[in-house]
């Protein structure tokens, strides 16, 4: 699913430390995400070159409180593009291989989040996310152009949020861990992550750092080889590290810019991604 890549490449979360909204409150974000990769981590963790391919999508993220304890969460990549430029000889300038691209909707994630416990000092929740195979899993002339992986997965996680202060500065930390059950002979996964946020200028600016870990159980039967550095391969593993800056024009509307990449991995693109978006806090 797209969630495989996007847990690493960019994160969609309210910058407040509370994980579950109150009834009628919500967080909505319209984003553009871009990755162009000419190298990938092999199944042994080494970095190898590959033909340059790019991925781009426009997406909507929504997190809405249907009660004080339950949220509905959705990630909808309503436009997804995968492309490869012409391969040109460096000596003759001749085109060795024609470029190609596909456009479609991407894989949609829909989830529900439940507040297990909340106080002024700590918030604990659990989330079940269903990854729907709505993208193109075998596009292009050779079937290798993808905007999704073609499988239905179920990701169950537990999250922890902690708000705190250092002198006059407001900060928060988040952590999660969970199990991702995958179908169609893909391997299941263990996932975990950590996030820190710092507010500046009377909470007008937030600086956010994130790290995510994905470990494959290697219990699937699909071929794990990945010569193109696809973000939809089986047995993907990585440690991701990213940073984000968010600016609030008002209490409800803001802009964010994110830069994220894998510092180590197996069978995953080795280049960083960039995303940018506008968000709206419904209070």
Distance CA 18, CA 123 (A): 6
The residue among 87, 51, 46, 103 whose CA lies nearest residue 268 is 46
210: phi then psi, degrees, rounded to nearest 5 = -135, 150
| pLDDT tens digit sequence for 11-50 | 434 444 457 899 999 999 999 999 999 999 999 999 999 8
- Owner of token pair 């709206």: 280
Domain containing 220 equals 2-282
How many distinct structural domains can be found in the chain?
A: 1
Please give the C-alpha separations between residue 122 and each of 73, 108, 164, 215, 256, in angstroms, as whole numbers. Answer: 21, 30, 10, 27, 25
pTM: 0.91
| pLDDT tens digit sequence for 46-92 | 999 988 899 999 999 999 999 999 999 999 999 999 999 877 767 88
Please give the C-alpha separations between residue 33 and each of 24, 82, 93, 216, 275, in angstroms, as whole numbers. Answer: 28, 12, 31, 25, 4
Q: Residue 241's domain is classified under what CATH number? A: 2.40.128.130
Burial letters for 18-38: b for 16+ Cβ neighbours within 10 Å, e otherwise?
bbbbeeebbbbbebebebbbe
H or E element that contains 4: helix 2-9
């Amino acid at each position: 699913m797209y969630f495989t890549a996007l847990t690493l490449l960019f994160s969609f979360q309210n910058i407040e430390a509370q994980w579950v909204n109150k009834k009628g409150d919500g967080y909505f974000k319209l984003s553009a995400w871009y990755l162009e990769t000419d190298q990938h981590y092999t199944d042994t963790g080494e970095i190898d070159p590959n033909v340059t391919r790019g991925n781009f999508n426009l997406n909507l993220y929504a997190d809405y409180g249907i009660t004080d304890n339950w949220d509905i969460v959705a990630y909808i990549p309503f436009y997804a593009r995968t492309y490869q430029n012409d391969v040109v000889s460096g000596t003759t300038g001749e085109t060795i291989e024609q470029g190609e691209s596909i456009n479609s909707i991407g894989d949609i994630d829909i989830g529900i989040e439940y507040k297990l416990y909340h106080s002024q000092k700590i918030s604990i929740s659990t989330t079940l996310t269903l990854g729907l195979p709505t993208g193109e899993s075998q596009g292009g002339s050779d079937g290798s152009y993808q905007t999704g992986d073609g499988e239905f997965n179920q990701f169950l996680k537990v999250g922890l949020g902690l708000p705190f202060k250092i002198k006059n500065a407001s900060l928060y930390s988040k952590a999660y861990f969970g199990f991702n059950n995958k179908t169609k002979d893909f391997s299941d996964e263990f996932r975990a992550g950590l996030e820190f946020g710092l507010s500046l200028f009377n909470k007008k600016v937030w600086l956010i750092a994130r790290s995510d870990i994905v470990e494959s159980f290697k219990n699937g039967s699909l071929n794990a080889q990945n010569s193109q550095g696809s973000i939809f391969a089986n047995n993907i593993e990585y440690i991701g590290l990213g940073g984000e800056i968010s600016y609030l024009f008002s209490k409800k509307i803001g802009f964010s810019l994110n830069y994220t990449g894998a510092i180590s991995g197996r069978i995953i693109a080795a280049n960083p991604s960039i995303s940018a978006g506008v968000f709206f806090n419904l209070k």
